[in-house]
Amino acid sequence: MKARLALFFLIIAFTAGCVGTRLGPEDIVSSPQKVGSLPQQVEIREYQGERLSSVGDFRENSIKGPQKVPLEGYSLTIDGLVENPLTLTYEQTLDTYDSIQKIVTLHCVEGWSNTLLYEGIPLSDIFADAKVKPEANTVIFHAFDGYTSSLPLDFIYENNIILAHKMNNITLPSERGFPFQVVAEDKYGYKWVKWVVKIELSDNPDYKGYWESRGYSNNADVRA
């Protein structure tokens, strides 16, 4: 009898442990959909014959842990070296700009990587509206958790870098950067800023973001 009771508690503890440490797909798929009245979304794991990683496959190691950005009061700001600074709500951003899809792999410096279908707005479309000044050459992304990172403006144009709002066909889960994440393809994960609140056009190519100022390369090219 005592042994049975012990086994019972062992199972409970084990189950609780699993739930506590691992994010189940249910948590992820259901959380951001409360925003507005979006229809139920289902994560895809395959696209045009290619297997995709899951939104739950990422290691969560953000500098201040996962952020829950409230849409109430949220705005995306584009400022710095622009003639026409922009302040857009989440809805305005999605209504104003068309999105494109890309399958892209994120490589973290820790050695893991994930390949997903990202959907987002080409930054060049937003920059066209903001009227980037000719002296701008660097784009600094500011996040809700105080994190920053930057990319060369030319790199963004040449690779048609997007600001993602969906991954694997579902709205970005809060852990993964809702409402917006930079999809800095071919650059290490620390350039993929999550929870973007401000995009600043700058003329300082030596700007150093959070990890860059702690010794990581500002170039961040993933070695092929």
Ligand X SMILES: Nc1nc2c(c(=O)[nH]1)N[C@H]1C(S)=C(S)[C@@H](COP(=O)(O)O)O[C@H]1N2
Among 44, 71, 94, 108, binds Mo ion (CB under 5 A): 108
Contacted entry of Mo ion, ligand X, none for residue 63, CB cut-off 5 to 8 Å set by kind: ligand X
For 149, list phi and psi in degrees, rounded to 5.
Answer: -160, 170
For 171, other C-beta atoms within 10 Å of its C-beta total: 20
Asked whether 109 and 190 are in contact (CB, 8 A), the reply is yes
DSSP characters for 128-173? HHHTB-TT--EEEEEETTS-EEEEEHHHHHHTT-EEEEEETTEEPP
Q: Is 35 in the site for Mo ion (CB under 5 A)?
A: no
Q: Helix (H, G, I), strand (E, B), or coil: what is residue 184?
A: coil
Taking the least distance from each CB to ligand X, the nearer of 32 and 189 is 189
CA 92 to chain centre: 19
Q: Is 193 in the site for ligand X (CB under 6 A)?
A: yes
**To the nearest whole angstrom, how small is the minimum distance from the Cβ of residue 219 to Mo ion?**
15
Taking the least distance from each CB to ligand X, the nearer of 122 and 189 is 189
Phi-psi region of 36 (alpha: psi -120 to 50; beta: other; left: phi over 0): left
Question: Which one of 2-10, 21-29, 54-62, 93-101 is the stretch in contact with ligand X (CB under 6 A)?
Answer: 54-62
Among 59, 92, 96, 219, binds ligand X (CB under 6 A): 59
Among 120, 173, 177, 189, binds Mo ion (CB under 5 A): 189
**To the nearest whole angstrom, how small is the minimum distance from the Cβ of residue 127 to Mo ion?**
26
Interaction residues for ligand X, span 141-180 (CB under 6 A): 143, 145, 147, 176
**To the nearest whole angstrom, how small is the minimum distance from the Cβ of residue 189 to Mo ion?**
4
Distances, alpha carbon 175 to alpha carbons 107, 137, 138, in Å: 17, 30, 27
| Chain residues in the site for ligand X (CB under 6 A) | 58-63, 108, 143, 145, 147, 176, 189-190, 192-195
